[in-house]
Amino acid sequence: MIIEFKMIHILTTPINLISNVDVNFLVPDNLSKEKRSRVMASIRGKNTKPELIIRKLLWSMGKRYRIHDKSVYGTPDISHKTKRVAIFIDGCFWHGCRKCYIQPKTNTVFWKKKIERNHKRRADVKHDLKRKNWKILPFWEHEVYKNPQKVVNEIALWL
C-alpha cells in the first residue's frame, strides 16, 4: 500500500513568544489522491437522504413546494414563495449540531472555522428572511431520522 503525503501549511505561535512562524510539515493521508477525490465528490449538498424523506412525505400529503429555489435568499431546501415559508434541513456534521457534532481530530482549525462560517451564514439568512416576513423552519438531520412524520406534520401546518 502506498501512503500519500500532503504538504500542510499552518501558522503556529511558539512557546517562547517569538512572532508567528510559518511551519510546513507532512501529514499522511490514508487514501490515495483519486480515492480522496471520489470521496469528497460524493458528498452532497442537495437532495440528501433527509431531504428526500421529507419531500416524499410532503408530496404524498398533497403539499406542493419548490426545491433549492435560488430566487429565495439562502436557497432553502424546500420553499413556498406565496406562503413565504423556507425549510432548511441541516446535516448534523456540516452545520455543527450541538447534539451530534463531533469535531474531527485532524485539521481542527479548518473544521472549527468552517462550522463557524456555516453558523454565521445560516444566521444571516434567517435574519434576512425574517425581515422579509418569511417563516423559517429549520430541522436537523437527526430529527428527520428519529421522527420524520413529526417533522412533516410541523411543515404541513405552514405549507
Q: What is the mean pLDDT of the chain?
A: 82
Other CB atoms within a 10 A radius of the CB of residue 55 amount to 19
Residue linked to cell 503525503: 5
What domains sit in the chain, N to C, each tagged with a CATH number?
Answer: 4-41 (no CATH), 49-156 (3.40.960.10)
pLDDT of residue 71: 94
> Residues 6 or more apart from 128 whose CB is under 8 A from it?
73, 74
How are strands ordered across the β-sheet holding 135-140? Answer: 66-67, 78-80, 85-90, 135-140
pLDDT in tens, 26-37: 556 677 878 877
Cβ atoms 124, 81 nearer than 8 A: no
pLDDT of residue 10: 42
d(CA 97, CA 141): 9
pLDDT of residue 27: 56
pLDDT of residue 59: 94
pLDDT of residue 29: 64
Examine the pLDDT at 138 and tell me if it is beyond 50. Answer: yes
pLDDT of residue 28: 62
* Average pLDDT over every residue of 85-111: 89
- The residues with which 140 forms a beta bridge, in sequence order, are 90
d(CA 87, CA 69): 11
pLDDT of residue 13: 38
Q: 1 or 33: which carries more pLDDT confidence?
A: 33
- Written as one letter, the residue type at 20 is N
Q: What is the DSSP pairing of strand 78-80 with strand 66-67? A: antiparallel
Q: The whole model's pTM is what?
A: 0.72
